[in-house]
Chain A
Amino acid sequence: MSGNRSLPPVWNKVGRHDVFPEARHDEIARFNFLTNMNMHLSSVVIPGVREAYEQRAEPEFRKQKGRSPESRQEVRELMSRDSYYQWWSALRRSTMEMRQQAGRSMVLRQIDSINEKAAKLNDSAETLKLDSSVKVPTYASAVDIHCMPGCYHTALSDGDVSAGANYDCGLFVTTAGLLGTYTDGGGKAIAEWLQKDQPNFKPRRILDIGCTVGHNVLPIAQAFPDAEVIAIDTGEPVLRYGHARAKSLGVNNVTFMQANAENLAQFEDGSFDLITTSMFLHETSFKSMPRILAEISRLLSPGGLSLHLEQPQYTGRPVFEQFMRDWDTFNNNEPFWGTMHDQDLTAMIDATGLPAAEQFQAGIAASVDETIFPKVDTQSKTEDFGRAPVWNVFGAWKPVKEECVA
């Protein structure tokens, strides 16, 4: 009996496939502990941060300066001295580090076997195209993104896929299962939104950028089974893993390719009808993002669509909420997170030749099996800022006639 408490799904419900690590009893129990820790932090601990701000930190600031904090930087400076904020932050960071260690210990104790299974599934496949000349971009090497030791690109041995396996097994823990058994709630939401809102749109060639293990591109590939899908990333281990994962899940229309989205000269102008990114742009940089968007604009066919999924922009939000959403920038190794969420996305995309009139923006929620997962209360006051399965989707249609652009 759980009373009226909302319980996260046990980790046993996670979606498996042939390259998914085999989990032992204690490894599952460890993930269950960490999932419940994440839930406790977001439902019990986080609301207290707002209380600490509103009831003591902000009034004290106002008393001294005669005004409220006017930017999230001011709130950060103020709250960094608040003991309750310190507790929450220390616990959150600690939990994330434990999640990395838990995933890596499970994956690495059986890594030879996982690598072997991946190699078998990937053997001489034409749908896996690796290119060792592709360098790791600065935005992926400056720090290990979301505190994953070795980031997406480190291989511990030849053909190592451990970075992908560790990422795959822990997403369910960090999101308390809210993104679905295969953590593909984002990709599913994109696919369903397209089918519902754009029933006549039938892309023949699709490009997904920053695919990592391909968890979000597979639902899109499945929604358009006749389309040729190309999923690119710079990280070799995640591509090897993602390709094997897709094969094992029976999705065969995706080619996983090692490539840098800042320069996709191997593809001709106008050669894709749909170009997607899912939770990728915030992991790039101020210099790289415009280059990537420009490549997307060039690669879109007339009448084609670009579609990006991210957490909501900061603009217009209260400074305290901005500050909470910005936690990951400094404390979860997501250095471009805050800057990305400050950008005028419309202007950025407009600058690539896709005018504001052709752009769209929508809010969508993760699409998951509600028989296993609790329904998401999108109005919940206990939102885990920046982690909620509710996204900002934006992008643009490429004008059909060239003169429309001019």
Chain B
Amino acid sequence: MSVDYIAEAGRKAKGKRPYFFDDRQTEQLLNITMAIAGELAVTRERLDTIERLLEKSGTLTRESIENYVPDSKAAEDERQLWQQEFIARILRIVQQEREAITENQAGQPSMDEVVDSLSS
């Protein structure tokens, strides 16, 4: 793969990010919470898929899930990569706040200034 897709996927869009809450960190916490909510919805849909497939074929038991151990290095790596992507996804807002520091340092104008410059 030519790019680190997890890092690239979460890049900040150029331009000052508006914050709406009085406290910036509270809003960042909202972003983290919503990302978790999203991933929970994804997991719930995946579980629903598994349940429906199991219902059809009946090849899997609850116990085999409880006792499951990854059976290869590849399986271990896949699961660890999933954990990394999960964390990158829900903590994107913190990583983008870090990018914003550099962007601001480089002189990115405020959204109001950009609006003015493209509107006159």
A and B bound? yes
Q: A111: which B residues are within 8 A, CB to CB?
A: 1-3, 5
CA of A33 to CA of B36, assembled, Å: 11
Q: A157: which B residues are within 8 A, CB to CB?
A: 2-3
B34 & A95 in contact (Cβ 8 Å cutoff)? yes
A338 & B115 in contact (Cβ 8 Å cutoff)? yes
B13 & A94 in contact (Cβ 8 Å cutoff)? no
Q: B14: which A residues are within 8 A, CB to CB?
A: 143-144, 149, 151
A142 & B117 in contact (Cβ 8 Å cutoff)? yes
| A248 on the B face (CB < 8 A) | no
Task: Tell me how many residue pairs across A and B have CB atoms closer than 8 Å.
Answer: 146
Q: B21: which A residues are within 8 A, CB to CB?
A: 86, 90
CA of A387 to CA of B43, assembled, Å: 29
Range for the number of chain B residues in contact with chain A = 35 or more
Q: A336: which B residues are within 8 A, CB to CB?
A: 115, 118-119
| Nearest Cβ on chain B to A342's Cβ, whole angstroms | 9
| A85 on the B face (CB < 8 A) | yes
CA of A90 to CA of B20, assembled, Å: 6
Given known contacts A143-B13, A143-B15, A148-B13, A29 and B41 CB-to-CB distance under 8 angstroms: yes
Majority DSSP secondary structure for residues of B touching A: helix
- Tally of contact residues, A, Cβ under 8 A: 52
| Nearest Cβ on chain A to B78's Cβ, whole angstroms | 12
Q: A26: which B residues are within 8 A, CB to CB?
A: 42, 45-46
B89 & A97 in contact (Cβ 8 Å cutoff)? no
| B114 on the A face (CB < 8 A) | yes
Q: B38: which A residues are within 8 A, CB to CB?
A: 30, 33-34, 37, 98
| Nearest Cβ on chain B to A138's Cβ, whole angstroms | 7
| B112 on the A face (CB < 8 A) | yes
| Nearest Cβ on chain A to B13's Cβ, whole angstroms | 4
A29 & B115 in contact (Cβ 8 Å cutoff)? no
A94 & B8 in contact (Cβ 8 Å cutoff)? no
A339 & B118 in contact (Cβ 8 Å cutoff)? yes
| B54 on the A face (CB < 8 A) | no
CB-contact partner of A335 in B18, B45, B118, under 8 A:
B118
| Nearest Cβ on chain A to B65's Cβ, whole angstroms | 17
CB-contact partner of B118 in A98, A142, A156, A330, under 8 A:
A142
A104 & B9 in contact (Cβ 8 Å cutoff)? yes
| Nearest Cβ on chain A to B8's Cβ, whole angstroms | 5
B92 & A101 in contact (Cβ 8 Å cutoff)? yes
Residues 5-63 of B at the A interface (beta carbon under 8 Å): 5-6, 8-15, 17-22, 27, 30-31, 34-35, 37-39, 41-42, 45-46, 49
CA of A97 to CA of B28, assembled, Å: 12
Q: B30: which A residues are within 8 A, CB to CB?
A: 90-91, 94
Given known contacts A25-B49, A111-B1, A285-B118, A101 and B41 CB-to-CB distance under 8 angstroms: no
A105 & B6 in contact (Cβ 8 Å cutoff)? yes
Beta-carbon contacts of B65-96 to A below 8 Å, as 1s and 0s?
00000000000000000000100010011001
CA of A85 to CA of B21, assembled, Å: 9
Residues 283-340 of A at the B interface (beta carbon under 8 Å): 285-287, 329-331, 333, 335-336, 338-339
| A100 on the B face (CB < 8 A) | yes
Residues 112-159 of A at the B interface (beta carbon under 8 Å): 112, 138-139, 142-144, 147-151, 156-157
| A65 on the B face (CB < 8 A) | no
CA of A33 to CA of B48, assembled, Å: 14
| Nearest Cβ on chain B to A28's Cβ, whole angstroms | 8
CB-contact partner of B114 in A30, A86, A143, A150, under 8 A:
A143
A-B residue pairs, 4 tightest by C-beta: A143-B15, A105-B9, A108-B5, A339-B119
Q: A104-B9, A157-B2, A330-B115 are in contact. List 17 more A-B contacts (CB 8 A).
A: A30-B39, A87-B20, A93-B20, A95-B34, A97-B13, A97-B92, A101-B92, A102-B9, A104-B11, A111-B5, A112-B2, A138-B118, A148-B13, A149-B12, A335-B114, A335-B118, A336-B115
